[in-house]
Amino acid sequence: MITAILGAAALVLGVVVWLVGERHASDSSDQLDRVLASARLNEQQADTASKQQVVNGWTARDLLALLNEQQADQTRLTGLVGVVIGLAGAAVVVGLLLVPGRRARRGPAPLAPPFGPPASHASGPPPTTGQAPPPPLGPAPPNSSA
């Protein structure tokens, strides 16, 4: 349940970031129209080559300022998307840790046996070491000499 809530919150945050990015994109197209309209008006009034050079310089300056502003908006939007992805990842991790039955394992993972089956399942006689086998555990057998 908590995972669904956190996922929904991340989705809403993602939509907000997308809408903010769209708003900035439409603002820059309005600014581009304004810069180009100003350039056309100034070109019509420039009657000599030197005036046309000045108008071209102004237009280049305005277009570069617009490009710089768009790049700053794109950088900001990329940062916000990174934050949304980070929050969504954190929401998944927190949700997985809080869901019953999905707890993280504590301690190291159990190790597999080194080679072959365990000694209790081995076939054949146990290996000899040159020593007498240990006495059996349990009650001592009755003594028949008494």
Q: Cβ contacts of residue 32 below 8 Å, gap of 6+?
A: 66
Q: How far is CA 37 from CA 57, 89, 96, in A?
A: 15, 46, 56
Answer yes or no: is 110 within a domain.
no
Q: What is the distance in angstroms between the CA of the first residue and the CA of the last residue of the chain?
A: 77
Answer whether residue 143 is part of any domain: no
In a domain, 135, yes or no: no
pTM, to two decimals: 0.46
pLDDT score, position 89: 80
- Asked whether residue 92 is domain-assigned, the answer is yes
Q: Look at residue 125 and tell me whether its pLDDT is greater than 70.
A: no
Q: Which residue has the higher pLDDT, 1 or 64?
A: 64
User: With bands split at pLDDT 50, 70 and 90, how would you rate the model's confidence at 61?
Assistant: very high
Give a yes or no: residue 78 inside a domain.
yes
pLDDT per residue as tens digits for the range 112-122: 666 655 555 55
pLDDT of residue 63: 93
Domain-embedded: residue 107: no
Are 24 and 77 a contacting pair, CB within 8 Å? yes
Three-state secondary-structure class, residue 61: helix
Tracing tokens 């919150």 back to the chain, one arrives at 9
In a domain, 114, yes or no: no
C-alpha span between 81 and 85 (Å, rounded): 6
* Structural domain total, the chain: 1
Range(s) of the domain holding residue 74: 2-98
Q: Is residue 137 assigned to a domain?
A: no
